[in-house]
Amino acid sequence: MGLRKFKPTTPGQRFKLISNFEEITTDKPEKSLLASKKRTGGRNSSGKMTMRYIGGGHKKKYRLIDFKRNKDNIPAKVKTIEYDPNRTARIALLFYVDGEKRYIIAPNGLNVGDTIISGDKVAPEIGNALPLKNIPLGSIVHNIELNPGQGAKLARGAGSYAQLTSREGKYAVLKLPSGEIRMVLITCKATIGSVSNPDNMHVVSGKAGRNRWLGRRPRTRGTVMNPADHPMGGGEGRNSGGLPRSRNGIPAKGYKTRNKKKLSSKLILERKKKK
């Protein structure tokens, strides 16, 4: 995994920095694990635009990912490492010994030909999925469940991981990628290792057109709108627009939007650190 830099033969290539895709082994996905993906263009069922700045983009098919890893004690061999247009991480195609095929989020360091397995008593090696109660303390994990059998919810993006710091009764204490420290039931599953494609954070698009390929339309700043269109709009010349806030008037930059009555708040031991 690495980054590829271009010679500035055009303005769009001057600062362009993208993945070299050296870990990708095939460009043909497994047809049985594809599903159609509908685009809305930001419109609702009556055709009214309810989300702005969405539209266009390259046609995609969704890859069915196994986030539950519930095929226990059956070994699987890694057949390919593939690109997934729906996420920043790479995905791995598994061939189980009973003939079934599944996609998983590829951990960093997983190679074609490796054998992985999930279950309660499996070895804590890269790519193996097991309950938090059986994972050694200090281990790096990803694809963490919040409820047993629900499927992975935490640490799924490129390069992300959490660290298992301790266990207290029926809970395991995890330090998450954001810096937040929270408790998760020890019966929840997690996968050993960190997520693949850690260089994704350094990618530079180079031109606006690459954002359009992703289905992202140009965003208009609130300060250049009229007062009728945005709380930060209006004024003579380049006025700052007042306190930063959204189109609906919700303050930005530090304003907490989490519901104070949320039941899972008691499981959070330390909030994420401010930048």
Structural tokens at position 216: 């992202």
The total of structural domains in the chain comes to 1
pLDDT-derived band at 275, boundaries 50, 70, 90 = low
Mean pLDDT throughout 249-271? 92
In this prediction, residue 109 carries a pLDDT of: 93
Domain membership of residue 134 (yes or no) is yes
Alpha-carbon distances, residue 8 vs 202, 206, 221, 231 (angstroms): 18, 10, 29, 40
Domain membership of residue 215 (yes or no) is no
pLDDT at 1 over 70: no
Structural tokens at position 186: 């020890």
Q: Tell me 132's DSSP state.
A: G
Domain membership of residue 182 (yes or no) is yes
In this prediction, residue 11 carries a pLDDT of: 95
pLDDT-derived band at 273, boundaries 50, 70, 90 = confident
Mean pLDDT throughout 175-195? 96
Furthest C-alpha separation in the chain: 70
Alpha-carbon distances, residue 73 vs 84, 94, 188, 193 (angstroms): 27, 14, 17, 19
In this prediction, residue 219 carries a pLDDT of: 95
Domain membership of residue 144 (yes or no) is yes
Q: What is the number of residues in the chain?
A: 275
Mean pLDDT throughout 220-248? 92
According to DSSP, the β-strands at 61-63 and 129-131 are: unpaired
pTM equals: 0.91
Cβ-based neighbours of 263, under 8 Å, separated by 6 or more? none
pLDDT tens per residue, range 107-163: 999 999 999 999 999 999 999 999 999 999 999 999 999 999 999 999 999 999 999
Alpha-carbon distances, residue 12 vs 5, 15, 159 (angstroms): 12, 7, 26
- In a 10 Å sphere around its CB, with 0-12 CB exposed, 13-18 middle and 19+ buried, how is residue 248 labelled? exposed
pLDDT tens per residue, range 22-50: 999 999 999 999 999 999 999 999 999 99
Instruction: Give the residue numbers spanning the domain of 167.
Output: 3-201
Please state the φ and ψ torsions of residue 129, each to the nearest 5 degrees: -115, 130
Mean pLDDT throughout 224-253? 92
Structural tokens at position 220: 């208009």
Q: What percent of the chain has pLDDT over 70?
A: 99
> What CATH number has the domain bearing residue 163?
2.40.50.140
Domain membership of residue 228 (yes or no) is no
> Which residue(s) pair with 172 in the sheet?
167, 184
Domain membership of residue 206 (yes or no) is no
Residue 42 one-letter amino acid = G
Mean pLDDT throughout 223-248? 92
**SS3 for 80?**
strand
Average pLDDT, the chain: 95
Instruction: Tell me how far apart the alpha carbons of residues 230 and 78 are, in angstroms, rounded to a whole number.
Output: 51
Structural tokens at position 200: 């994704």
pLDDT-derived band at 240, boundaries 50, 70, 90 = confident
In this prediction, residue 148 carries a pLDDT of: 96
Q: Torsion angle, CA of 251/255/259/260, rounded to 10 degrees?
A: -130
In 3D space, the residue among 206, 105, 109, 204 whose CA is nearest the CA of residue 158 turns out to be: 105
Mean pLDDT throughout 10-21? 94
Instruction: Tell me how far apart the alpha carbons of residues 241 and 225 are, in angstroms, rounded to a whole number.
Output: 10
pLDDT at 87 over 70: yes
